[in-house]
Every structure is written in structure tokens, then in C-alpha cells.
Chain A
Amino acid sequence: MIRQLDIDGVPTLLAPTAGPMRAGLTFRVGIADETLARSGITHLLEHLALAPLGLTDHHFNGATTPTFTSFYTQGSEQDVVQFLAAVCRNLHDLPMSRLEVEKEILRTERSSRGVGPLDALPLWRHGARDHGLTSYAELGLPALTEHDLRHWAARWFTRENAVFWIAGNQVPAGLRLALPPGVRQPLPRMSSALPHTPAYFVNGARAVVLDAVVRRRTAAGVFAGLLERELFRSLRQEDGLSYTVTAGYQPCGDRASLHALADALPEKQDAVLGGFIDVLAKLRVGRIEQADLDATVARREEILSEVEVHAARLPGLARDVLTGHPTSTVDELRAELKAVTPADLHQVAQEVTATALLMVPEGNTADWAGFTAAPTASSHIIAGTEYREREGDSVLHVGVEGVSQLVPGAVATVRYAECAALLAWPDGARRLIGYDGITVHIEPTLIDLHPAAVGVIDQQVPADRRVPMPPRPPERIPQPYVGAGGHPSVGWPQQVTPPPAARSWWEIPLMVLSGLAALGVGGFTLLLTLAMLFPDEPDPDDGFLWGMVVAGWLLTVILALPIVLLRRRRRR
């Protein structure tokens, strides 16, 4: 059974375990509480709090998720006491000498972790704020100061905003949780970047992924198990199209997010998508067998019957206490599981369909199945001063409200007031990322930009959105006329990428005209030259005609010059 205690004002949950003592201190703060321009601050703080522990013999770890930050340990009573004392102390007396080193470590962590198939979903659903921020790199890291970190720690890492859990027979003697007072923080809001659901977006990952947001309830957890079972049966057992098929359910407060994934061979991706959509439809129309429900419930009951169930539930219960969600006992959960009916699952299925965001592999769509394409461009164009790209058809509008980048067939607009981050390079390049995830990237070397235009942008975007970027080596700064490499590759899914530089309309006519003129004059001069070299009869006006020959050849060269210049320009 689980006992509820209080240690230094921090709510504490205690459950017995047969194994070594484990403990966790969880705070109601995470990536979704940050802003894009200062993102990474929670993760950095978590690293700094653990940094002084260095190499120890017992196991410990930290984890920063969208809405929670936790510190875990496992070891002897003495280890646990020392670990928690150190974490609480370090959180409010940060080892600032480690600041730059930990920033580097975080950058390495990010780059070595790679990008998983699920990583893009939050951005498409929520945009570049709150729950969408997990899709982005930790952009705020370089600019974060000691002051920022202290301020962040004082606001979020407080005893009112923490819950402690411990798996063991009793609270070890001398365990203290010395945290400053504060307030319990509510969950961050959940922004939406999707005007319509069900929606879909295209991603290069070789998998079909579903994301849905539902009301938290036992039936929704069972539904995730059922969905996995149906996907496995249909896509793997029956059709042999997928190898990995998973579904998951993550409750948070009174809502829960639901995910499902099915991988696919390159040549089978369209069939996996079709099969996936059919499985969803089967559940949506309510064709749910009692036997499948029973099998799914049985698996969950097995988990509840494990000896260590109470200890295993502690981290989840700690999160429930932090979000004010009522906690239930194992017996209550068992009773809820038994009460789930196919009709309950049918209701969840309809909720899943209504809120669905589907990630489909490259080369596919899901509009045919009733999913709306998630926005990849803006619908509004900002009026402002127009700047043309030197090579190509892109036009940049810099206005008093925001900026728009127009490429043939698409617009990307970021309003200053809705700018999540302004990335600023010392060489003048700027990238504006809107709350909706739409990005405008400006390379001054590629646009005929008035020097003051960048200043206008810098002034209009609120200062706390500015992300100073490190200097780029000259070879990384794009130059005009560099062909395919002219545009820096930008890794944002919703970046509107300008097409490669196109030939200007006047180039071909000019080359033709120049060619014809050169041919005409050149031909005449050639005839004249031949006539002069092999005269039928001597001519007294020889000198004048030789002058004509020289002038003719000169004129030919001048007339042919545009062809040569235009061709060389295209080749560069």
C-alpha cells in the first residue's frame, strides 16, 4: 500500500519494495513551460543540479519532460539521503563554473540522440510554443545567463511545486528536502497549430504515426492497448507490412495523449498507411470485439497484480499529485478496468479520430481519407517594403507588423507580435519563427536588402525573443551565384523553401538578339575580310576598307559579349 507523508513541506509518497531503495523528486516544470527563445533552461538546470555529484557508486539520473522534471536515485539509505540533500542544495546554489561545459554537453546530447519518428509531432500540433517546443533544438542555451537560471529555479523548483516519492520500508533517517517556498504551478496551456482536425502532415520517416488528445480515463488507456493489438494483427500478422507496431498512452492532468506507430519498408509505405487508416476506421465505427477488449484488460490486470505494483506506480502518482489529479488505488483501478465496455472504447475511438494528427510517409497524403493537410504556409501576406532576391523569384516583405516571404505558390508570414524566436547572426542573417511554426529566413547576401531593414526587424521583435547566434565561418555564409548550395539548408519542417534560382525572363531574348546581331555583323565583316585578302582588282581606298574590317570585328566581339557573360553567370 502507499502511504502519504510530508517531508519539509513536500508531499511524499511511500511504498514498500523488495529491492533496493529508490526515490524520486519531481517538479511541475518542463519544456512546455519555456519559451522558444529561452528553451533548454529546465534541462540545463537539471544537468547543473547533478553536475557536482560527479562519479558516484550508486545510480542516479535526471529527466526533463514536457511538463515534469525529475531526479531519481537508487542505493542505500545513506546514498538516497545524500543525493537529495545535494540536489536540493545545488538547485538553488548552482555550480555556475560548470555552466559553459554543461551547455556543450547538452548540445552533444541533442546531436547524438538524433531525431526519432515521433519528434516532429508536437511542432505540427502545437506550433513553436508550450507543448510544441519539444520538437525544437534547445535554442536558448547559448544566451542563458546565471541570472536566468537562478530566476527559473526560484520560480519552479520550490517545495510547493514538488512531490517526493520513495520505494522502501521507511523514510531514511536524516532525509531532508530543503527547498525554498513557492507556489504550485498549473499545467501550461495547450496551443494548437491545427485549424482543422483530423489533420495530417508528410514526414520523411518511414513510419505512419498517429497522435491524438483525449480526456483522461481508464477506457482511453485500454483503447491504446486495443489499438496496438489491432494494428499488430492487421499490419504485421495478416498483411506482413510492418515490423514494429506500438501504441502508447500518456496521461497528463485530466487529459492524455495517445500515440501509435507502424513502421514500413520503402515500397510498402502506402499500404501501411492504408491499413493503418482502415484499423482506425474499424474502431471508429465501433467494430470492437469483446474478446479483444478482454485480452487487453487482462494484460493490464497482470501489471496490477505484480508484486512491485505499488512501488512501480509511485512516479505516476507523484505526477498526479502535482497536477491535482485524483489518485486511485490498485483496487479502484481494477474495478475501473473491469467496467470498461466496447461502447466506452467506441467513444474513445471517436474522440481519437476527431483530434487525430497523422504523420504520413513522403509521397503520400491522407486527404482521401478525410484528413486535412496541416498548414505548411501562411494565408496572410504582410504589406511592407518589398525586397527581391538577387537570384530567383523570392520576394521579402518587411512591414511594421511583420515579415512575409513570397515564393511562387507559397507565403510564409511571421508577425512580430507572434514571433516565438528571432535568430540573429552577427553577419546580418535573421530567422523568424512564428508561434504557428512558420519560418522566414533572411540572408542579406542573397537579397537586395536595405541595410535598415534588418534594423526594423530587430527593433520590432520583443527583446526576449532574440536568440543571438554564434558567428558563422565565411564559407557557411551563403553567397549569390553559388548554384544549388546558395540557400542554407534549414531544418525546420514548416520552412517554406525557395526554389532554386531561376533564369530571368530577359536572359534568353537578350542572348538571341545578341547572337543574331553578332552573326550579321560578323558575317558581313568576314566577307569583307575575304574580299580584302583576295582582291579581284587593286582598290585605291584600301586603308578605309581595312579600317572597316577592324571596326567590324570589334563590333562583332562587342555584340557577342552578352552571350558569353550570361553563360558564365549561369555556370557559376
Chain B
Amino acid sequence: MPVHLPAVDADPAAAFPEVNAMRAALAARDWLGVRQLLDPRDWAWRSLLVNAVDDVDGVDQFLRQVLARQPDDTVAATMLAAYLVGAGWKIRTAQRAEYVSREQFDRFHEHLRQAEQLLIDVCAREPGNVLAWQERLNTARGLGLGQAEARRRYDRLARYAPHQLSAQSTLLQQLCPKWGGTWEAAFAFARERALAAPEGAQNAVLLADAHFERFCSLDSDGERAAYAQDPRVVHDIWTAAQRSVLHPGFRHEPGWVATRSVFAYWFGLIGQWAAAAAQFAALGHLASEYPWSYLDGTATLDQFRIEAYAKGGQR
């Protein structure tokens, strides 16, 4: 049993110090610096960097200034749109619709409409701008543009980045019943994209995510316990893990903290504490908001870590 557990750090910069470089460039209003950080990197990296900067003060004003000088700068437009989407979602909160006020919805939609119109332009100029299409999955969902439209957007994105996990996770949300989809569609997509990605890639976590969504949608503890015991679920979790976090080719690329966290949680749920402990050990002091934000944040995380080290840690 471990004597003490390291305090967790959920700042993405803890896993990826480049995030701090990005924050610094934005805080210094250094657009050239921002572009030098973003331009050489792949879409997964750009997604990570762009989504980690909405806590920089006045970043939206800065991006608007950049756009005023260079109206066809698609990077600035996409970043501003991503900022607006994030800010809009903060206004809406993650509550179920019945707990969101009319005024919150109005402001949320206004943010998303602004973002969407910036993104329509970016995608018109650069049909291969994966980040813009990814943000358009968020605007489509928030504005209720429909299942077929969300799928069209994803398909456009996938022509350029068939294994973009962050976009796949966003579409998976749309495919769940809470956003107007069906479990059949959600699982079909998760399985298909999990298998399509190379072995050792993170994408198999989509299947664990789909089960996690379904698990969270259940009403009672009894139902949830039964779901976690279901041999088909257990089988899916192991299969997905072996294809991703347990695969020798698994790399710590953007998104890996959340991916390991999802499996750590699932291994705990299905009573595989040694496997859970291995994931927590790989995570060390690193944490991600997801999946713990669905539960009750750090309380569940702490509980699972303690239990994993107690029951499955090295003795």
C-alpha cells in the first residue's frame, strides 16, 4: 500500500509544457510566436494547444485584432472561434437542458453562431482545416443543426484526418441519445473508428468512451453495477485497452492522459485493480478533466486511485 499518493495536476501544461509556451506567446500578444508554435505541428497537437489557451486574459480581443489586420488568417479565425465555443459552453454549463435558463441559452447560441460564421469562412478557404471542422462539430451540436449535418462535417474532416481522436470524441457525443442520436449509432461509430486506427493508437478508447456514456446514462446504482459486470462490456474494455494503452506501440501523444484515465476508471469499475493501478502509475501526478468531471471530479479520482493502489498496487 503506498504511503502517500502524489497530488494530481489537471493542467494540460503539466503533460505538455508546450502549452505554457503557447500561453506565454498569447499573453505577450506575439502572433508570430503563436504561429511558430502551431504551424509545424500536426492536427492533434494544434487541437491541444488551441484548446488550452482560453484562460489567457483578453485572448479574444487579441485574436480580433489579428483578424482585423489579416482578415484571411484562418489560424486566428479558428482560434477565435474555438475560444467563442469554449466561452459559450461555459455560459451554458454542462447541466442538462432543463437546468439551463433561457437567457443562458440565448447567450450560448449567440457565441456559437459567431463562431460558426467564422468557421464557415475558414472551411470555405481551407477545406482541409481539420481544426475548423472539429470546432464545427461543437457548433453543430450546440446549435442543434442535426445528426446528418454533424456526420457530414465529420466526414469532411475525416478526408484529411481519418484518425483525429478529438473530433471522433466530439462526434461520439452527438451520436449519443442525449444529443439526439442512438446507442446503435454511437457504438457502431466507436467500434468502426477504433478498429480503423492503427494498433497502439489511442482511438480504441472510443469504445470505452461509448460504454462510459451508456454507464453514466443509467439511473440506478444497481443498473450501473450490472452494466459493469456484463461480460460483453468487460470484453470490450479489455479489447479496447489491448489495442491502445496496453499495446507496446502506445505513445504519449496529445490526449493520452484522458485515454489512460478512462481505462483506469473502467478497470476499477470491472474490478481489475491491478490493471487500474498500472494506468494510475503511468499517469503519475497527471490527470485530465475527463472522465472525472462526469463523476464528481477529484473525489472519485482520489477514491479510485487509493483503491487501485490498495488492491492492485505492487505489494
Contact = CB atoms under 8 A, between A and B. Distances in A.
B143 A271 contact: no
Given A239-B155, A274-B153, A281-B123, A369 B117 contact: yes
Interface in A429-464: none
A278 interface: yes
Nearest to B148: A271
Interface in A273-296: 273-275, 277-278, 281-282, 284-285, 287
B145 A285 contact: no
A442 to B, nearest CB: 34
Contacts of B145: 270, 274, 364, 368
Contact of A273 (B112, B120, B143, B149): B149
Given A274-B153, A368-B113, A285 B121 contact: yes
Contact of B116 (A273, A285, A368): A368
A368 B151 CA distance: 17
Contacts of A370: 117, 120
Nearest to A264: B148
A277 B139 CA distance: 15
A369 B145 CA distance: 11
Query: Which one of B112, B113, B116, B146 has the greatest number of beta carbons of chain A within 10 Å?
Result: B146
A270 B146 contact: yes
Contact of A367 (B113, B151, B155): B113
A275 B120 CA distance: 11
Nearest to B112: A368
A25 to B, nearest CB: 47
A370 B145 CA distance: 14
A285 B153 contact: no
Given A241-B152, A271-B151, A278 B124 contact: yes
Contacts of B146: 269-271, 364
Interface in A521-565: none
Interface in B121-167: 121, 123-125, 127, 139-140, 143, 145-149, 151-153, 155
Interface residues of B, number: 22
A367 B121 CA distance: 15
A268 interface: yes
A275 B117 CA distance: 14
A368 B143 contact: yes
Nearest to A285: B124
A271 B149 contact: yes
A281 B148 contact: no
Nearest to A363: B146
A430 to B, nearest CB: 37
Nearest to B116: A368
B148 A269 contact: yes
A285 B152 contact: no
B121 A274 contact: no
A287 B124 contact: yes
Interface string A250-269: 00000000000000000111
B185 to A, nearest CB: 12
A267 B124 contact: no
A552 B148 CA distance: 67
A273 B148 CA distance: 10
Given A271-B146, A364-B146, A282 B152 contact: no
A278 B148 contact: no
Contact of A274 (B112, B127, B152): B152
B123 A267 contact: no
B149 A274 contact: yes
B149 A285 contact: no
A142 B209 CA distance: 67
Interface string B93-120: 0000000000000000000110011001
Contact of A275 (B124, B147, B152): B152
A184 B120 CA distance: 47
Contact of A270 (B113, B120, B147): B147
A369 B120 contact: yes
Contacts of A368: 112-113, 116-117, 139, 143, 145
Contacts of B151: 271
B186 to A, nearest CB: 17
Contact of A285 (B125, B147, B155): B125
Interface string B169-202: 0000000000000000000000000000000000
Contacts of B139: 368
A272 to B, nearest CB: 8
A369 B149 CA distance: 13
A436 B98 CA distance: 38
A513 B7 CA distance: 65
Contacts of A275: 152
Contacts of A285: 121, 124-125
Nearest to B139: A368
B139 to A, nearest CB: 7
Contacts of A367: 113
B155 A284 contact: no
A268 B125 contact: no
Contacts of A284: 124
Contacts of A364: 145-146
Contacts of A241: 148, 152
A196 B120 CA distance: 20
A274 B140 CA distance: 10
Given A271-B146, A274-B145, A281 B120 contact: yes
Nearest to B117: A370
A281 B149 contact: no
A438 B149 CA distance: 32
A517 to B, nearest CB: 38
Interface string A221-259: 000000000000000000101000000000000000000
A474 B165 CA distance: 66
Nearest to A270: B146
A271 B140 CA distance: 11
B157 to A, nearest CB: 13
Query: Which one of B124, B127, B155 has the greatest number of beta carbons of chain A within 10 Å?
Result: B124
Contacts of A369: 116-117, 120
A367 B117 CA distance: 10
A278 B123 contact: yes
Nearest to A274: B149
Contacts of B124: 278, 281-282, 284-285, 287
A369 B147 CA distance: 17
Contacts of B140: 274
A287 B125 CA distance: 7
Nearest to B127: A282
Contacts of B123: 278, 281
Interface of A: 239, 241, 267-271, 273-275, 277-278, 281-282, 284-285, 287, 364, 367-370
22 contacts: A239-B152, A239-B155, A241-B148, A267-B148, A269-B148, A270-B148, A270-B149, A271-B148, A271-B151, A274-B140, A274-B153, A277-B120, A278-B124, A281-B121, A282-B127, A287-B124, A287-B125, A368-B112, A368-B117, A368-B143, A369-B120, A370-B120
Given A239-B152, A368-B113, 12 more contacts: A241-B148, A267-B148, A269-B148, A270-B146, A270-B148, A278-B120, A285-B121, A285-B125, A287-B124, A364-B145, A367-B113, A369-B117
**Top 7 closest pairs, chain A to chain B, by CB:** A270-B146, A271-B148, A281-B124, A270-B149, A271-B152, A274-B149, A285-B124
